[in-house]
Amino acid sequence: MLLLYGQITYAQETFTDVDFFGEIELTNKESDDKNKYLGGFLRYQTGINLEDNKTTHVPNSRAPALTKAKVSFNAYVHDEYSSSIKYKFRLNGYYDASYQFNDSSSYTAEQKRAFESAVEMAESYLTLKLPNDFSLSIGRLISAWGQSEASPVVDIVNPRDIREFGQADLEEMRLPVGALKLNYTDNQWLAEFVSVFEFRGNRVGVHGSDFDPYLTFRDREIHDETKPYGFARSGEFYFRLKTYLAKGELAVIIGDGYDKSAILNQRPGNSLRPEYKRMKTVGASGNAVWQAWLTKFEFSYKFNKGIQQTQGWSRKDVVQSMIGVDYSGLINTTITFEWNTRYIKNYTERLLNDKIQHTYALFLKRTYLNNRLSSDLAWFKYGANDGNIYRINLSYEYRDNIQFSLDYFIYRAAKPDAILYNYRNNDRIVSTVSYYF
């Protein structure tokens, strides 16, 4: 079971970038000032656990049937002071009443702190337009790089919220970071230099939660994670150069920053502490369009990436790749397939990850009734016998600014040493009502 920690860490890294079925385009409400825009959404979600015999990871307790009764909001303002100065401010928040409805003994204190309520500043920045097609942005930024719908091979700037593994949409998962971005763009080229001055790691499940990544280590004391502080230690630097071709695009990526997934480091007394390790990355991504087909790829070589071992950790070079294809030749239908591979160089048997690991993703999206109704299927397969995740979604736009959706999540793993085995009893249905303004 110790092996599962290294494997699930990779699994959460692999399919954390999933924009499963997207969101409808936000309907902006224009104010009296034509340069000022207000927008966002209000949302209510109800989640029901379908596993009758599921027990929690809290001793002597059972999982409640109601997994979510969550009200969330997202609000932003985007203003232009002049043709060369503009800003955006976005605020997110939520409150989950299920923690009050259910028996409090079903939860740990960490769970309630992490999941019951929160308000935070999301993507917010000031942008200055400079001469010669340059611009400069500073604030909490999101830099979405790469081609994949499922695999963050070169999308290395922003951490992700993966506390609800396999259930969230991309725009809700990416976490903005404090950064300075210098941008150059013209009709053929895009160049971005990003200097990150706020460290944030992936936001993962906590003790007692359904998707606790440290579950197999809970018989030992796990300290609070150690984060790098101060720009001299936590500063990260990333560069992307992209060119637009006649029937596609091509980009190269260079990065010097921290792995957003923590490593468990051995401490005195057989205890553990999550820590973040620095690494360098070079990579490329691109796509090409031919009739109804779009082929795409991503490749990265990560130098000195921290890898978990049976005791402590070690640094290894890691090669990761993604190849995929989108087909949109059927009416109102898009089919996407992606194959992701990760290879660890100079492999040793003490590592908790496989030397070579394959993951697969298949998406089938179809719309009806002039795009108001949509059905979306997603399937993710880990290796040959490491488990599967399925998601079935139905969404209906009642009006331009009101959307109803229903999601069915299925987790399957039969072998005790499978990546998803500890998370196999998490099937659930989630209903959502969203109001966009």
* pTM across the whole model: 0.88
Which token pair is 191?
Answer: 């160049």
The DSSP secondary structure of 238-286, one letter per residue, reads EEEEEEEETTEEEEEEEEEEE-SS-EEEEEGGGEEEEE--EEEEEEEEE
> Which pLDDT tens digit goes with each residue over 56-99?
555 555 667 899 999 999 999 999 888 899 999 999 999 999 99
Predicted pLDDT of residue 59: 55
Handedness of CA 351, 158, 254, 246 (dihedral sign): positive
Confidence at 251, pLDDT banded by 50, 70, 90: very high
Residue 373, pLDDT > 90, answer: yes
Residue 200's nearest CA partner among 234, 247, 164, 248 is 234
Which residue shows structure tokens 């049976």? 310
Cα gap 277→286, rounded to integer Å: 28
Q: What span, in angstroms and rounded, lies between the C-alpha atoms of 299 and 340? A: 10
pLDDT in tens, 258-297: 999 999 998 888 899 999 999 999 999 999 999 999 999 9
CB 301 within 8 A of CB 317: yes
With cut-offs at 50, 70 and 90, classify the pLDDT of residue 165.
Answer: confident
